[in-house]
A and B are shown apart, each in its own frame.
Chain A
Amino acid sequence: MISFFIKLWENVKIALRALMQSKMRTMLTTLGIVIGVLTVVSVASIIEGLNRGFASQIANLGSNALYVDRYPWATMEDFSKFRNRPRLTLKEANFIRERMQLAEAVSPSTSTRQDIRYRNRTLNGISVNGVSDHYDVVTGLVIEEGRFFSFAEIERNKNNVVLGWEIKDKLFDNRNPIGEKIKIGATTYTVIGVTEKRGSFLGESLDAEVYVPLGTVFKNFGWHRSISIAVKVSDPARVEEAKDELRFLMRLARKLTPTEEDNFSINQQEVLTDMYNRLTRGLYTAAIGIGTLSLLVGGIGIMNIMLVSVTERRKEIGIRMALGAKRKVITFQFLVESVIICGVGGIIAIVMSFIVSLIISKITPFPSAVPAWSVFMGLGFSAVVGLFFGIYPASKAARLNPIECLRYE
């Protein structure tokens, strides 16, 4: 084992000397590998970033939350089928709240888009969510400043508002917004709280929203709107059971006969996860394919250069053989050379991938992160490329006839 490492070190020294002799060539060959590995690692970073962003976004929905909506979140069916479904009503929400055994909290909500004004600043088309008192529990909303709505505030349809982090930032800069008055549409509201920053997903800010009591939305923006009913299941192990109960209660509330289909949808985050996976699988495969392709091109570059190098150094090979280098020693020598090119290329690529990842997350809506596994994968890939594309030139060198090599000038 020790003698192997000594041999390896001898060969590394020989390889480095040979590589230093043709610096430009070595640099260009390494560049090919750098680009290849960089592509693979960057693609992996983008994928990882997307997945993480999606996971955190999905986590906001709550893992044991069920949502009764007019439409399914994701469907392969013709959407027109759902258009005639009746709107969900507060009455139905209350019906579920009163009867559902497996629910920890039931929170109806609705949403509208309105302009928001504070003094001379206006934000257009901001999503205004009408919520009930358990909304923060069900959806995992965290309050950073001030507080969420009390039961009494919800009951009395008070003109109070909780701001998303970004809205607060845009309207108030660094000032304390609590107790300030803002206008949503034509009505004046008092700010009672600000939510914690949640970041953005696919370029969509999760903090550019405001929350008001549900009844306030109906009162100020009209009654003719559908609601969504969020149900937090008390026992995460019994989500499926809860889904059945919820469906039963909804059918009961709507007095559906056994032959009638559901005219509502029960959604959960799983549905979104499934859709996300379906949509991105093809994308990932293509991206990884492109990365692999560029690594392949880099590898062919290595093979090409190593073949040239073997031909050029026939004399050296002949001398080494005459002095007692066995064939496998020659193979090893050239293999070490190509692995060094790839290894150095891989390391450079990984350092660069951190920079690229930073740039990607700065200038594109895609979040990007270099996962540890992609670092190892990048290094592994480059070593494999070095071995794979180095083995042919190296064994070609080893198969040369020493007599002919010595004659070569």
Chain B
Amino acid sequence: MDSLIELKDIVKIYKVGSEEVHALRGVNLSIQPNEYVSIMGPSGSGKSTLMNIIGCLDTPTSGRYELENVPVHEMDDDQLAEIRNRKIGFVFQTFNLLPRVNALHNVELPLIYSGIPAAKRKILAEAAIEKVGLSDRKNHKPNELSGGQRQRVAIARALVNNPSIILADEPTGNLDSATGEEIMQIFKDLHEAGNTVVIITHEKDIAERAKRIVHIRDGNIAEDIRN
């Protein structure tokens, strides 16, 4: 069976001044289509670095990364941008919406960069907003929305290009527990609808929603538990 994500001996070394920081020390991980995985670890464990590499925001110092059998580790900046655009839907802890444009336009952004014409963009964006239940707020700007609503917009934006994986970095970190619950329900629904979901978190009860928990410690995978 072909993996969706195949990481082999991923090493990431940062240079901070004259010192080398080994963020990842040979990570091996494969994720299958329609898996629901959480990557868990304390801060400084390397989980953010791993997320950046899985999300094609960064490239490993060494090792192989294949996304849908395409070697990503040898791609240049522009190719990575295209992969991020078409294959990865990001959901961030701080939502990362453009503050001065409305929800609909925020959701349209990935479609702009994949060159989809305006009329079709609008239809797709409205459908994605509908999926997260925010149709009535689509013309509101982020500062007119609650935290939970903002994160829903962000999820709609992550979904709009129909990506291979939804990559969520502490998606409930800035939300109260009730709203966090709602957001986690959306991820569960997305998984059940056939999407591959990867959540990065340091909270145990969030991580335990997933079917599989990967523990990271000191740049290595410490545990890989399937429920």
Contact = CB atoms under 8 A, between A and B. Distances in A.
B92 A323 contact: no
A402 B110 contact: no
Contact of B101 (A17, A315, A323, A329): A17
Nearest to B85: A324
Interface string A46-76: 0000000000000000000000000000000
A406 interface: yes
A102 interface: no
A326 B98 contact: no
B109 A326 contact: no
B112 A10 contact: yes
Q: Which of B92, B96, B157 has the most CB of A within 10 A?
A: B96
A323 B78 contact: no
Interface string A319-345: 111111111110000000000000000
Interface string A346-369: 000000000000000000000000
A329 B82 CA distance: 12
Interface string B148-183: 000000000100010000000000000000000000
B57 interface: yes
Interface stretch (B113-121, B202-210, B215-223): B113-121
A322 B84 CA distance: 7
A259 interface: no
Contacts of B9: none
Interface string A369-409: 00000000000000000000000000000000011001001
A36 B100 CA distance: 32
- The A contact surface, by secondary structure, is helix
Nearest to A330: B81
A327 B92 contact: no
Contacts of A409: 94
Interface in B79-124: 81-82, 84-86, 90, 92, 94, 96-98, 100-101, 109-110, 112-115, 117
B105 to A, nearest CB: 9
Contact of B115 (A3, A321, A322, A402): A3
A325 B90 CA distance: 14
A21 interface: yes
B77 interface: yes
Contacts of B113: 320, 323-326, 329
Contact of A6 (B94, B98, B114, B117): B117
Given A320-B109, A403-B52, A326 B77 contact: yes
A324 B82 contact: yes
Contact of B96 (A17, A325, A406): A406
A155 interface: no
B58 interface: yes
Contacts of A406: 57, 92, 96
Nearest to A318: B96
Contact of A324 (B84, B92, B94, B101): B84
A334 to B, nearest CB: 15
Interface in A63-105: none
A402 B109 contact: no
A316 interface: yes
B57 A323 contact: no
Contacts of A402: 57
A17 B100 contact: yes
B96 A326 contact: no
Given A3-B115, A402-B57, A406-B92, A325 B98 contact: no
B56 to A, nearest CB: 9
Contact of A325 (B52, B57, B81, B117): B81
Interface in B179-225: none
A16 B29 CA distance: 45
Contact of A319 (B58, B81, B98): B98
Nearest to A322: B90
Given A321-B81, A323-B109, A403 B58 contact: yes
B96 A327 contact: no
Contacts of B81: 321, 324-327
B78 A326 contact: yes
A326 B115 contact: no
Nearest to A18: B100
A21 B96 contact: no
B142 to A, nearest CB: 12
A322 B96 contact: yes
Contacts of B157: 323
Most A CB atoms within 10 A — which of B52, B77, B81, B109?
A: B81
Given A402-B57, A403-B52, A403-B57, A324 B114 contact: yes
Given A10-B112, A403-B58, A406-B92, A323 B85 contact: yes
B155 to A, nearest CB: 13
Contacts of B78: 326-328
A5 B113 CA distance: 14
B96 to A, nearest CB: 5
A319 B96 contact: yes
A327 B77 contact: yes
A403 B77 CA distance: 13
Contacts of B57: 321-322, 402-403, 406
Given A21-B100, A403-B57, A403-B58, A323 B115 contact: no
Contacts of B110: 323-324
Contacts of B92: 406
Contacts of A320: 109, 113
Nearest 4 Cβ contacts at the A-B interface: A324-B85, A324-B113, A326-B81, A323-B110
Given A322-B57, A324-B113, 6 more contacts: A21-B100, A319-B96, A322-B96, A324-B85, A325-B81, A326-B82
12 contacts: A3-B115, A320-B113, A323-B85, A323-B157, A324-B82, A325-B81, A326-B78, A326-B81, A327-B81, A328-B78, A403-B52, A406-B92
